Amino acid sequence: MKLKYLLILIPFFLFHSCKEENRGINVSLNSGNKNDTIYVSELITENKIIQLNKKKQRQNIHLNNSTVAEIYDKNKDNSYLTILVKNKDLNISIKPNSSITTNDKSDSLLNFLWKSNLSFISQNSSFIFLTKNIDSIPILFEKFRKQRANKITKSKKQITSDIADILYFQNDARIYSFLFYLGRVVKNLDPNNSYFDFIKKIPKANKTLKSLPDIYLYKYEVEYLRKNKSIESITAFLRYIEKKTNNNDLADFLKANYIKALIDMPSYWEKHEKLFNTEILAQTLASEKNNLYYNLIEQPISSFYASQNGEIAYLFQAEDLFGDYFNLENSIGKVVFIDVWATWCGPCINHRPKVLEFVKKYKDNDDIEILLVSVDASKDKWLSFLNKENQTLGKNLFIKKGMRTDFGNNYNIKSIPRYILIGKDGKIINSNINEPSLAVENEIENALKQK
């Protein structure tokens, strides 16, 4: 009898002993600089996974699923992408020039896909943006996609099938993402245009989409608009995502990213933007309260509501030309017009003369303060620009990488230029001004009349 039970149990033990043990991911830091601190966050969710420095150079982490992550330094001046999978030994190195790399072949391929995309677009920019034969653009990118896919295939013996799947998807997604941007935003093509026929090449949604999900949202938008004249409602599009995805986990992930994108980058969703307001947001949040990825939209929601017209303006601090700190709290009782800009932003520079006209017009009016807030990464570049401009009027202020700070979060600044008008009572009058204009000037005049 004992022998009988033993024979039954042997296959059970054999099966479980052959199952690969998940020992987590061993991450180590190799750096000669004691001040170096490195962070690793998920690429899409931006959830921070680990932090390493001279005192803590090794850490073991466990993740439920494979993911693409970003390795970066404290100020995000340097970054490098990595694929995190179970049982990976990841060694992160910081080179003497502060650049970041790892010991992993798949990471090298991943960063090649990222950077070669940018290089290819730059090298072919004249053709891409000027050709009248727009159907030839997807053909050009399809050749490039296949070239990179071949490069991944040649490395398959050195990587696992899971990693290969992520790399193939990253290759496709980075190319299709740009094609969608070009067609939807830059050229504003009709969804029925044959240019968008490349959507037929995008496979059905699977778990790899979590490393770059937006292409499925863009694909669904094109498909939806090919069947309907317009987006009926935000709710209708959310239901369409569910229908097309046919997987609760992935559908929740895509819906959360869609809502987040509507808040963060409304210019990317022109056909949806007019349907979206505080009332619709409240309804949407109520319907998605059980969404598995609700946490992804909590910060954007907070920023959205904080920046709405009629809300009390966030009282920020910023550095002035002399290294002293300006505090918005000291300007309560005045009308405040804020120009959020950066030296690298072409439209910001183009609009600057009009902003300076406002500065000159109101220079002797004590009831208004015009703030020119730079969100540059480099203070030196900001100072150099101002030195060349040789303009002494207005209050020039600096918030290093301001779009990523509490200033950027509370005013929901996801793109620039951005102009904000605050009333004498400290409440936001208009937080989403696209450019300085006569209409804005009229808003300023009306605000000045208020007691």
Mind listing the pLDDT tens digit for each residue in 71-98?
A: 998 877 889 999 998 888 889 988 888 8
Number of other residues whose CB lies within 10 A of the CB of residue 12 = 9
361 shares a domain with 272: no
420 shares a domain with 279: no
143 shares a domain with 68: no
Q: Are 102 and 31 spatial neighbours (Cβ–Cβ below 8 Å)?
A: no
- Residue 34 is predicted with a pLDDT of 60
What is the average pLDDT score of the chain?
87
281 shares a domain with 374: no
Whether 212 maps to a domain, the answer reads: yes
300 shares a domain with 231: yes
Whether 402 maps to a domain, the answer reads: yes
Whether 444 maps to a domain, the answer reads: yes
- Higher-pLDDT residue of 392 and 19 is 392
Query: In Å, how far are 3, 62, 144, 157, 220 from 106, measured between CA atoms?
Result: 49, 19, 19, 11, 30
pTM: 0.72
Range of 389's domain?
317-449
Q: Is it the case that residue 228 has pLDDT exceeding 50?
A: yes
Which candidate, 179, 178, 168, places its Cα nearest to that of 211? 168
- Residue 305 is predicted with a pLDDT of 66
Q: Considering only 10-19, 152-161, 337-346, which range has the smallest mean pLDDT?
A: 10-19
∠ CA 200-203-206, rounded to 5°: 150
Whether 13 maps to a domain, the answer reads: no
288 shares a domain with 153: yes
pLDDT 10s digits, 105-126: 999 999 999 999 999 999 999 9
263 shares a domain with 137: yes
pLDDT band (50, 70, 90) for residue 12: very low
Q: End of a domain among 278, 306, 334?
A: 306
377 shares a domain with 390: yes
∠ CA 105-109-113, rounded to 5°: 170
300 shares a domain with 327: no
β-pair type (48-53, 79-84): unpaired
222 shares a domain with 138: yes
Cα 414 to Cα 306: distance, rounded to the nearest angstrom = 14
Whether 6 maps to a domain, the answer reads: no
Cα 410 to Cα 314: distance, rounded to the nearest angstrom = 6
pLDDT 10s digits, 296-310: 887 777 767 666 778
Whether 47 maps to a domain, the answer reads: yes
Whether 311 maps to a domain, the answer reads: no
Which CATH number goes with the domain that contains 72? Answer: 2.60.40
Q: End of a domain among 243, 271, 306?
A: 306
347 shares a domain with 293: no
% pLDDT > 90, the chain: 49
Across 342-427, the runs of DSSP E, i.e. the strands, are: 368-374, 395-398, 418-422
% pLDDT > 70, the chain: 93
- Residue 46 is predicted with a pLDDT of 81
| Number of structural domains the chain divides into | 3
Which CATH number goes with the domain that contains 349? Answer: 3.40.30.10
Q: Is it the case that residue 38 has pLDDT exceeding 90?
A: no
pLDDT band (50, 70, 90) for residue 225: very high
Whether 430 maps to a domain, the answer reads: yes
Which candidate, 66, 78, 127, 135, places its Cα nearest to that of 102? 78
Q: Considering only 3-12, 100-109, 141-150, 421-430, which range has the smallest mean pLDDT?
A: 3-12
pLDDT (average), residues 339-363: 91
pLDDT band (50, 70, 90) for residue 16: very low
| Token pair listed for 151 | 């490069």
153 shares a domain with 249: yes
| Token pair listed for 275 | 């349907």
Q: End of a domain among 44, 72, 103?
A: 103
